[in-house]
Amino acid sequence: MPEPTAIVLAAGEGTRMASSLPKVLHRIGGQPLIAHVLTTVRGAGIGPVAVVVGPKREDVAEAVRESAPKARIFVQKERRGTAHAVLAARDALTGGDLLVMFGDTPLVRPQTVTALLDALKDSAIVVLGFRPADPTGYGRLVMESGQLQAIREERDASPAEKKIDLCNAGLMAFSGQHARSLIERIKNNNTKKEFYLTDAIALARAENLSVAVREASEEEVMGINDKSQLAEAEAALQKRLRAAAMQSGANLVAPDTVFLSADTKLAKDVIVEPYVVFGPGVTVQQGATIRSFSHLEGAHVGAGASIGPYARLRPGTKLGEKVRIGNFVETKAAEFGKGAKANHLAYVGDSTVGKDANIGAGTITCNYDGFNKTKTIIGDGAFIGSNSSLVAPVKIDKGAYIASGSIITENVPADALGVARAKQQNKKGWAKNYRALKSKGKPKK
């Protein structure tokens, strides 16, 4: 028996988004909408995946490959309805059960998909329905004796049918035995001359085949058609992600102020203070503290570390155990060993910082010359004095000490003092004479 296949329809133009970016590439939780859908498919245990994209949409195809490298890409050259879109991926129909999803419904859960496929044991088609607070504008699911008889669009619905509160969410599952024959027989006998996948219901009922319905919440099946709905979906996803993080043992002090990415990993006993943003690719290990107004992306934070407030961790940051990154410190492609610290007002980029090293206030690693980025290496226990500039490539060896205000352009040996600053001169009376000169001829107040 062939395994189930998922076909994700992602060829819509999304004109209501008022954007040059394709609708399915807009992001919530740090990921494109299409990536969330593909994650759901994967979570439901479906292996073969096909995605139907519009013509000249290599950007969408590339996003699909990033999220699901084995997915097959098909192009719907003309937009002639949902059934036409499914048949653009005709070669993906291998005889197994078929799930049809949409690239702009990112909140559907894997267990909902599994429930649809499980129901195919007794039905030729299973439709996902929901009960919105206001059904106006949605297609109604006309039921009789527990079977779906038809999906009636509102413009075609009778007054009695318009009172039905069970509506079509769009997702459909077809048994492998009937999928191809039902979809291929769909006609375009409508005013738009398009091929609608929902017409498969009438074809199935005409053959006395069973058509079942499974329900989900209105929030879960939310489709994204404009920026307002995108914001609503972001809020719904954030609520879901925060709840999952706290259930796993993280302590979000003010949950509504913390923004997570879909792939954020917070271990138990992590403390996250208010107004923290986690971009994609962040892992925080047990017992670490992320203080207020910090922004993390592409970073690994070790156990017991302390970050912020007002810290920025950029991609490639790797912090060991008990590292301290303080206020107004920025790191990028920097690795800190256990116990190292940069407590305030520093930039550390393209660097390796040894364990127990200290980065003083105002220190920067000068890692970019306008053409190339080079590396700074700071050894275990090294001390970098305040207001120092380390001009890469440079190595500060183990236990070395950099005098405050130095501009270091050469390697500093272990346990040595590196000093690179002009000699101080004190000119007696200069300030008094300068003030007298400047005030001469000025009118008195």
Contact call for residues 318 and 337 (beta carbons, < 8 A): no
Whether residues 159 and 115 share a domain: the answer is yes
Kindly report the CATH number assigned to the domain that includes residue 300. Answer: 2.160.10.10
Contact call for residues 267 and 286 (beta carbons, < 8 A): yes
| CA–CA dist 155, 133 (Å, integer) | 19
Whether residues 183 and 38 share a domain: the answer is yes
| CA–CA dist 269, 276 (Å, integer) | 16
Using one digit for the tens of pLDDT, what is the confidence trace for 92-127?
998 999 999 999 999 999 999 999 999 999 999 999
| CA–CA dist 124, 107 (Å, integer) | 25
Catalytic center residues: 344
Whether residues 275 and 399 share a domain: the answer is yes
Residue-range definition of the domain harbouring residue 297: 242-418
Whether residues 176 and 302 share a domain: the answer is no
Chain-centre distance of CA 353, in angstroms? 29
Could you identify the residue written with the tokens 């190339």?
372
Whether residues 97 and 20 share a domain: the answer is yes
- Does residue 221 sit within a domain? no
Whether residues 256 and 296 share a domain: the answer is yes
Q: How many CB atoms lie within 10 A of CB 30?
A: 20
Contacts of 386 (CB under 8 A, 6+ apart): 360, 361, 362, 363, 404, 405
What stretch of H or E contains 241? helix 227-247
Distances (CA, A) of 351 to 25, 314, 365, 372: 33, 13, 8, 14
Kindly report the CATH number assigned to the domain that includes residue 11. Answer: 3.90.550.10
Whether residues 208 and 250 share a domain: the answer is no
- Does residue 429 sit within a domain? no
Q: Could you give the number of structural domains in the chain? A: 2
pLDDT on residue 445: 62
Whether residues 31 and 74 share a domain: the answer is yes
The tens-digit pLDDT sequence of the chain (445 residues) is 789 999 999 998 889 999 999 999 999 999 999 999 999 999 999 999 999 999 999 999 999 999 999 999 999 999 899 999 999 999 999 899 999 999 999 999 999 999 999 999 999 999 999 999 999 989 999 998 889 999 988 888 899 999 999 999 999 999 999 999 999 999 998 888 999 999 999 999 999 999 999 999 999 999 999 999 999 999 999 999 999 999 999 999 999 999 999 999 999 999 999 999 999 999 999 999 999 999 999 999 999 999 999 999 999 999 999 999 999 999 999 999 999 999 999 999 999 999 999 999 999 999 999 999 999 999 999 999 999 999 999 999 999 999 999 999 999 999 999 999 988 899 999 999 999 998 886 766 6
